[in-house]
Chain A
Amino acid sequence: MFETANPETLRQIGRSPARHDAEDKITGAAVYVSDMAFPGMLHAQVKKSPHARAKIQRIDVSRAARLPGVRAILIGADLDYRLGLYVVDKDILAKSEVRHFGEAVAAVAADTLILARQAVDLIEVEYEVLPPILNHMDALAPGAPLVHPDLGKYDYVQAVFSPQPGTNIANLTRCRKGDVEKGFAEATWIVEREYTNPSVQHVPMETHVVIAQWKTGDRVEIWTSAQSPFTVRDLFCHAFKLPPSNVHVSIPNVGGGFGGKAGIHLEPLVACLSRKAGGRPVKLQATREEEFSLLPCRSALTYRIKTGVLADGRIIAQKMEMFWDAGAYADYAVNVTRASGYSAGGPYEIPNAWVDAYTVYTNKPYGTAYRGFGHVEFFWGLERHMELVAQTIGMDPLEFRRKNLLRPGSLTLTGEKITEHTGDVRKCLDAVAASIRYGELTPEEKAREARAGLKIGKGVATLHKAPAMPSNTATSVVVKMNSDGSVLVNVGLTEIGQGSTTALAQIAAERLRFPLNKVRVTIEKDTDRDPYDWQTVASKGLILTGNALLLACQDLLAKAYELAGQALRAQACDLDHDGEKIFVRHNPDHSVKFSQVALGYMFPDGNGIGGPLIGVGRYIAQGLTNLNKETGQGLPALDWTYGAHGIVVEVNPTTGEHHILKIASAYDVGKAVNPELIRGQCIGGMVQGLGTALCEGYIYDEQGRLLNPSFTDNKIPTTKDLPDEIECIIVERAQVDGPYGARGVGEHPMISVAPALGNAIRAATGAELTHMPIRSEDVWRAMNRKEPVETWITKTPVGSCKTLPVGK
């Protein structure tokens, strides 16, 4: 639909100009909320629970209140507002009970940060400590204590979610396709296993930070490091019953989000502190430690898969059970459950499928969106499982995958028909297999093995993901022409580092046929001045905002042509334009410059016509439906981005230490708007995926206290952790309804890195890994057939802990 991508005529799309936000970021001029201050601004601090589950018996703030310079103190009883994206289950400050370690129980605003810290230390809280429910599988047991006994009384989005009152189940998503029992009856082989991974922290380099000012008349100003200004505004208004016109949200540069800054987080608390402090602006920035447990993380997952395969290697049936650890609040975890539930089978054709995906409350820091929205977690199990199935039936894992991949005409789990335009997962898989020379060891690799006494193995894994978003997700764009004929583009999509500002500028320049230096897309976002966009999440920005931008450019040109037609006494249909002027096609010298019509045209005698040129475009996800709650059937996917990774790994067969020699990644991006931006997403996402694969994860003691909320104890990858060789491969099967054929690839590079590594380690050593991350000791354990680490709840902070039988 939107502008065919004829490579002959494209002038901006497919090039890699420098990012438009780079100059301010390399010089330190770029302003983030953490850099901002206002006259009279107070500093906030939070009193946090040291217990995972406890009744609050008494809170005494009197000593804190007597400290000079303390301007506001709040406890849960002061605030009668409840928050929740989908299930409204969270108080701004814990009221009678704390549900996770690190939960906020009181907050202070004071003249200085030091004073606020002192005041928080002076607040006394008496708790009655209760035994916590930490393991999400234990929380499912009949008679387990309830994290939310009032679940049945909470508001929730009824069209989409299904909480189960009287249990710890915040949501159950079902998907049914065909007849899974009949399929198993026809199967020659049935393979069943369980795969697990712990909670993980996003680690944006800028922690969550908010400045809020609650002014008279319930008018609220919010400056926040968030992904989605309009969602912050609208959820804030919902919680406080305020009209949107009362609340103004501004977002300058954002120091990383990765999903952790989607939705709404510290904004309501900080605004309430400001109100209590008489309307002075209040700033709260999470410490790095608070980022781990006051703010949310990525959910842990237990994924059980049972696969039935026919004699010829085709999958005939698959039963999938997902158990997502929501932690103490439902937040995004219920929607991660939904989106993962309908994607759970991966890019494979499964004629008979059965999915039950549970979101389970526990007494741990709660889960939220994280790059990949569940797919990083469940693809760990799914793509390890495909490997195991292939081994079991004696087929090469690559061949087994190729045999079962979706193809045009295939139906997804929800009944959506795959077409030739959906994207080419086969080409991605073949490209990475060729890149790593799958299935053989080169002479150099053999020599290396012999020389070092190490084992080299190769593995592949596929991935897919569609944007997880409401069926009516909408966006809008305004393109304003400046007096010199250049344009300024306003979008509600936030620049969180992904580079959308630059890609959108290229799209506008291409559509307008302007040089790139005549297009500027604003970086700072402002709900009062920018047009609506739902959220900056889900890898949906390029398609939705890109399309709205094309329509806005079209609108601007139509208005410019109309005005030029009057100025030139020509019909609009006879006009054409270049980067400078609009001219009569059959008489090109008869022209008017954009700068002459930008603010309205003036005839030689001084008469003015028209007025400033502004183009408006809006776009909404089309053709999507809610899913049937019993069968999961419906159309949830705006588009699918496919991809694959291939990994060559070297493993020490004695110690389990391993090192990645090469990783090749391929994604079908539809059309590469800016290849270097894509390469940045591919490598950045892949390395973040390596963090998940190699070392990251929350470790708790048996009381539910988080033991590793720091970079010393929760490592993330550094320059020294890079694979020796990295290849990023771009596949371009155009998205028919994408701008110039493009589709999103922001989240996808993080997905399936871990199973590709697990599969390569299996190929090298035979180690069957079912838990990630894959640390050296995990490989050693698997090689020696020791029981795997079942959860990351430990008596000692070393990660070795209680185990359960394998393969139940």
Chain B
Amino acid sequence: MKISVTINGALYEREAPENVTLLRFLREYVGLTGTKEGCGGGECGACTVLLDGRAVNACLILAAEVDGASLRTIEGEAQDGEPSDLQKAFARRHAVQCGYCTPGMVMSARALIERNPKPSVDEIKEGLEGNFCRCTGYVQIIEAVLEATGQPATIQEGSHV
């Protein structure tokens, strides 16, 4: 079937079978591979994208369902070659290790910030609960979201003795 979808402001029209997930559609039919597959079962959040502003797991949605909709993916987060403040905070706060969960994590954080511009630590934990990260232990990610929203960022102590 023919699927038309606006991704990061640009219109894409592709022929794809009815049973193709949005995740495979993005990665294989549109060629946007920033969105990752971690489990394929809606458990890990690595494939999080914004569907009409709402964070969703692209592996649980059929491409056919988003015909006519507007999507945002990690590739739309930087503008004119300049990473967003949220992305810069992820880099500055060492909120990235292997990087495989990062695109989904950034998109979940983006959705959170858009509905709650100054989230508390507990609200950030709630907002990112569906995104697994096996590397960082989440603290520096939470700090990045705090920094990106103009809040004091260091939430856990580090010290030399």
Contacts and interface: CB of A to CB of B under 8 A. Distances in A.
Interface of A: 16, 18-19, 21-32, 34-35, 202-207, 253-258, 287-288, 427, 431, 496-499, 666, 672, 675-677, 679-680, 683-688, 710-712, 716-720, 722, 725-732
Given A27-B34, A287-B40, A730-B159, 15 more contacts: A25-B96, A26-B88, A26-B91, A27-B83, A30-B99, A253-B98, A431-B161, A683-B136, A683-B156, A712-B43, A719-B129, A729-B159, A730-B158, A730-B160, A731-B160
A548 to B, nearest CB: 24
A718 B157 CA distance: 20
Given A28-B75, A711-B44, A720 B125 contact: yes
Contacts of B115: none
B46 interface: yes
A27 B125 CA distance: 22
Contacts of A685: 137
A672 B130 CA distance: 33
Given A680-B97, A688-B137, A719-B138, A205 B44 contact: yes
Interface in B27-59: 27, 32-41, 43-44, 46
Contacts of A205: 36, 38, 44, 46, 98, 100-101, 132-135
Interface in B137-161: 137-142, 156-161
B136 A680 contact: yes
A687 B75 contact: no
A666 B161 contact: yes
Contacts of B11: none
Contacts of A720: 125-126, 129
Contacts of A727: 156-159
A205 B33 CA distance: 15
B157 A18 contact: no
B132 A716 contact: yes
Nearest to B102: A25
A686 B39 CA distance: 23
Nearest to B107: A28
Contacts of A499: 94, 97
A730 B91 CA distance: 22
Given A27-B78, A711-B39, A711-B43, A254 B98 contact: yes
B7 interface: no
A27 B99 contact: no
A683 B87 contact: no
A25 B99 contact: yes
Interface of B is mostly: loop
Interface residues of B, number: 60
B25 interface: no
B136 A28 contact: no
A206 B91 contact: no
B96 A206 contact: no
Residue of A204, A287, A683, A712 contacting most chain B CB atoms (<10 Å): A683
Contacts of B100: 32, 204-206, 255-256
Kindly list the 9 A-B residue pairs having the minimum CB-CB distance in the complex, ordered from nearest.
Answer: A28-B34, A25-B99, A497-B98, A255-B100, A687-B137, A497-B97, A683-B137, A28-B74, A711-B43
Contact of B98 (A29, A31, A206): A206
Contact of B139 (A18, A204, A716, A726): A726
A283 to B, nearest CB: 12
A760 B134 CA distance: 25
Given A34-B36, A730-B161, A26 B102 contact: yes
Residue of B32, B41, B94, B99 contacting most chain A CB atoms (<10 Å): B99
Contacts of A680: 94, 97, 135-137, 140
Contacts of B94: 16, 18-19, 22, 499, 676-677, 679-680
A716 B102 CA distance: 17
Contacts of A427: 161
Residue of B96, B98, B106, B156 contacting most chain A CB atoms (<10 Å): B98
B90 A26 contact: yes
B38 A684 contact: no
Contact of A29 (B34, B41, B93, B135): B34
A710 B134 contact: no
Given A27-B34, A27-B87, A722-B125, A35 B96 contact: no
B59 to A, nearest CB: 10
Residue of B44, B88, B156 contacting most chain A CB atoms (<10 Å): B156
B156 A726 contact: yes
B32 to A, nearest CB: 8
Residue of B27, B35, B44 contacting most chain A CB atoms (<10 Å): B44
Residue of B32, B39, B94, B133 contacting most chain A CB atoms (<10 Å): B94
A208 to B, nearest CB: 13
Nearest to B37: A34
A685 B134 CA distance: 9
A255 B36 contact: yes
A683 B159 contact: no
Contacts of A258: 134
Contacts of A29: 34
Residue of A204, A711, A725 contacting most chain B CB atoms (<10 Å): A711
18 contacts: A16-B94, A18-B94, A22-B99, A26-B99, A28-B35, A30-B99, A205-B46, A206-B38, A288-B44, A499-B94, A666-B161, A675-B158, A680-B135, A712-B41, A718-B130, A719-B126, A730-B159, A730-B160
